[in-house]
Amino acid sequence: MAANMYRVGDYVYFENSSSNPYLIRRIEELNKTANGNVEAKVVCLFRRRDISGNLNTLADSNAREFEEESKQPTLSEQQKHQLKHRELFLSRQFESLPATHIRGKCNVTLLNETDVLSGYLDKEDCFFYSLVFDPVQKTLLADQGEIRVGSKYQAEIPDMLAEDESDTRVQEKLETKVWDPDNQLKDSQIDQFLVVARAVGTFARALDCSSSIRQPSLHMSAAAASRDITLFHAMDTLQKNGYDLAKAMSTLVPQGGPVLCRDEMEEWSASEAMLFEEALEKYGKDFNDIRQDFLPWKSLASVVQFYYMWKTTDRYIQQKRLKAAEADSKLKQVYIPTYTKPNPNQIMVPGSKPGMNGAAGFQKGLSCESCHTAQSPQWYAWGPPNMQCRLCASCWIYWKKYGGLKTPTQLEGAARGGSESGPRGHMTRQEVQGMSPFTRNEGRAKLLAKNRQTFILQTTKLTRVARRVCEDILQPRRAARRPYASINANAVKAECMPIHLCFKEPSTLFCVLTKCVFLGMTRLPKATKTPLKTKIIPRPSLASIVKDLAISAPLKLKASRGPPTPINRNQATQPRVGQGLLGKRGFDSATGVPYPANGRPYTSGLRTSSQSVIKRPKMNQGEAPNPVVFVATKDTRALRKHLTQSEMRRAARKPHLPVRIKLPPPPRSLAMPLLPSSTSEPIVLED
């Protein structure tokens, strides 16, 4: 009978789905609805399966730090797996659920440094939490109510002094004396001085315009002057003046007027007090949230001081009485009978012969997904229906209570290396649908083969031909640099319409190209003027290659590299020579004018306004293989146009060989300052 009685403050299981694990909630209120049903206002607690993978990674790092600080005993992989099922995350989220959905009690505690994690595995229905989850912001934060116990937070108490030993410490450096009980004044004299201090405080409030508005009557001003802030100021004045009443009197009323001392109760306005009461009703004594959401212009110390002063007022006593009367009208406890209805996920009739595998619609030979047992008095369908997975009776109860399986399987991330390799140690039911389960026989693999369909994106012949024929429209290099830009598909389709007509009948690629030329296609790339000469070059052996490299680039001591060549800055007046790599040499023109390592000719001064500034993205120093950057100039691009496509490819494959270019004679009206006047001799470029 007591097990089915649920009270406010209990941690309970709620069932919202017959196949999903129980929800763990804490009962805050029990309310009776108009139709006679009982609803429970509960605080939500979340499991690891309810948060994202990034937050699971953060929770794993927090767990490792806790194990290192508290020096926990070593756990096995299975114990670590099951321990993640016992971890919960507290939240500030409330919801209302029917009390009839309660399925039992559980115990949830705040994780302490003195706790042993393996002790939670030995107890049934026992959970712990150490982090707070915000469902709106999707964040995990440490709980502010953490009990700080341990050597890290405890004070070191010195040894007690002996009877004849004197304390050599300087007390003024350790603490500040604010009152001396062994003073020369009598208690009656001190009381008289305190009365004078209250009278001065009342007079000061009468002179202050803001105080006269807040305390319009004399007795309200006298009550405010009798608060602790006035008494503390009077006693502090006596201490500073050496308990001389004459000096203390003059300090209370200086030359400019009486001293006015106010506490937080007087500093706060009525509207701010109303906001504080509203925030206190919502957040409780969570002063950080109260200050952040309701009173951001107040300091945390001011909020705390106002709270303890507010507790001494009649307003607090009145609200306390109202809450007590409201609590009396609410339910204190509710009785929920044991839920005995059969679960829809049962795949065997309870009265059938125990230990038999299989049921209607299930293959024989299947075992429990968690413990792999083949005999159980009751079987339950688990996971997606097309996978035909099931659990035994004990593993089903474990799944419903703890939200996972006893042993890590492929469905829960074992295929990814266990819970340590992936960000999540287990998966939800939706994630399971995309993965194959723990295969134990051929029958299950056949069932799953139908659910995994492989698709391949294969380029058609028409698309491949369009890339060649409509290269000027497609601009593959430009499209590769700007993949987000759209391509004019209609223009490509219009140009490739004759090709599309050729493809209607089956034919080979050679026949298609022949038909395209026959139809008058003029968009095919132009062939080179000079026919390509093929020459078979025998591949030298590895020993000869190493020998040639050693001769062309002997080992030398590494010299300090100069500063990198600027791209968007003005060129330096002095030429800089880049360091070569395995025989690479800088550009040399026919007239002997050297080119720098970046391919840009040297200038005698700063960059002129006619020269365009090349804007390039900043390169990460860790990713840059060499600080030298090669930038092609206009002259270099002009020389490249005189090379055929085959010569360009040959020069790219063999950058150490010189490139010979035969330039046509330039017109007499144009002057080329960097090229020789006579072109009878070929220009040799070394890249």
> Where do we find the tokens 């007087």?
266
The Cα 587–Cα 584 span in angstroms is 10
How do residues 77-88 score in pLDDT, each as one tens digit? 889 999 999 999
At a CB cut-off of 8 Å and minimum separation 6, what does 334 contact?
5, 6, 30, 38, 40, 99
Q: Put residue 363 in one of left, alpha, beta given phi > 0 → left and psi -120 to 50 → alpha.
A: beta
Buried/exposed code over 359-371 (b: 16+ C-beta within 10 A; e: otherwise)? beebeeebbbbbe
- For every residue of 314-352, DSSP letters joined together read HHHHHHHHHHHHHHHHS-SEEE-PPP-SPPTTB-S-TTS
Say whether 421 sits in a helix, a strand or coil.
coil
Mean pLDDT of the region 275-296: 90
* 3-class secondary-structure state, position 201: helix
pLDDT band at 673 (very low <50, low <70, confident <90, very high): very low
Neighbours of 266 (CB within 10 A): 18
Distance CA 673, CA 591 (A): 10
pLDDT tens by residue, 266-277: 888 888 989 999
Q: Are 659 and 687 in contact (CB under 8 A)?
A: yes
What pTM was estimated for this model as a whole? 0.46
For residue 679, what are its two tokens? 């072109």
Mean pLDDT of the chain: 74
Nearest to 409 by CA among 440, 378, 434: 440
Q: What is the pLDDT of residues 460-514, one digit of tens each?
A: 877 787 777 788 787 888 888 887 777 777 777 777 665 555 544 444 444 544 5
Least confident range from 239-243, 254-258, 442-446: namely 442-446
Q: What is the DSSP string of 226-262?
A: TSHHHHHHHHHHHHHTTT-HHHHHHHHS-TT------
Nearest 5°: the CA angle 56, 58, 60 is 70
The continuous run of DSSP H or E covering 502 comes out as helix 497-502
Nearest-angstrom CA–CA distance, 422 and 403:
18
What's the pLDDT tens digit per position in 133-173? Answer: 999 888 888 865 556 677 777 788 888 888 888 888 888 88
Name the phi and psi angles at 229, rounded to 5: -60, -35
**Which residues have CB under 8 Å from 291's CB, separation 6+?**
298, 299, 300, 303
Residues 6+ apart with CB under 8 A from 125: 104, 105, 106, 107, 401
Residue 447 has phi, psi (to 5 degrees) of: -65, -35
CA pair distance 684, 668, nearest whole angstrom = 23
Cα–Cα distance between 51 and 62 in angstroms, integer? 15
